């Protein structure tokens, strides 16, 4: 049902986009990057977070990591990643297929500034074998164009470690 909800959502809001269903799994950033022949950073992963009791989605590049300090500054509180049951309840998507499309109810959606280095990104499409190719600008347009700086990019992760 989740794949179908994404297809219905995109058909109504972005009929020029389509969900690519692949034979091989795209459930992880690495798998999705291999299937689509792109850098891991171009896989736009969607994180489900709770901050000060509010549930929200954060779409970031696949090789970035949520940063507690930056997230506190961006969202006004400490972020907590949601468990698989809450993710499914909020998005109707299983972990591995979570995306900001086809949601059962409106949610605040934020885009991490780390995505801006790419022209093309590929978020999941509501299933562990589904994805959507689109420009960063189009992703922003479809998600409400709310940008934050809440993640560490690979270079920051390497220097911190």
Residue 160 within a domain: no
Residue 14 within a domain: yes
pLDDT in tens, 102-130: 999 999 999 999 999 999 999 999 999 99
Residue 108 within a domain: yes
CA 58 – CA 146 distance, rounded (Å)? 10
Residue 147 within a domain: yes
> How many structural domains does the chain have?
1
Q: Residue range 142-158: average pLDDT?
A: 87
Residue 58 within a domain: yes
Residue 51 within a domain: yes
Q: Which domain holds residue 37?
A: 2-153
Q: Residue range 118-143: average pLDDT?
A: 97
Sign of CA dihedral 60, 64, 65, 67: negative
CATH number of the domain enclosing 114: 3.90.960.10
pLDDT in tens, 52-85: 999 999 999 999 999 999 999 999 999 999 999 9
Report pLDDT for 159.
Answer: 63
Output the DSSP codes for 76-89: SS--EEPPHHHHHH
């Amino acid at each position: 049902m989740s794949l179908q909800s994404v297809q219905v959502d995109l058909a109504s809001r972005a009929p020029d986009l389509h969900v690519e269903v692949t034979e091989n799994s795209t459930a992880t950033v690495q798998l999705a990057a291999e299937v689509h022949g792109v850098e891991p950073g171009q896989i736009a992963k969607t994180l489900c977070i709770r901050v000060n009791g509010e549930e929200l989605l954060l779409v970031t590049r696949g090789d970035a990591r949520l940063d507690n300090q930056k997230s506190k500054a961006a969202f006004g509180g400490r972020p907590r990643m949601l468990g698989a049951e809450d993710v499914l309840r909020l998005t109707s998507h299983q972990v591995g297929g979570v995306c900001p499309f086809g949601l059962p109810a409106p949610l605040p959606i934020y885009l991490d500034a780390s995505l801006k280095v790419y022209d093309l990104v590929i978020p999941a499409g509501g299933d562990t074998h589904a994805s959507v190719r689109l420009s960063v600008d189009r992703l922003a347009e479809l998600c409400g164009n709310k940008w934050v700086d809440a993640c560490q990019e690979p270079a920051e992760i390497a220097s911190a470690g």
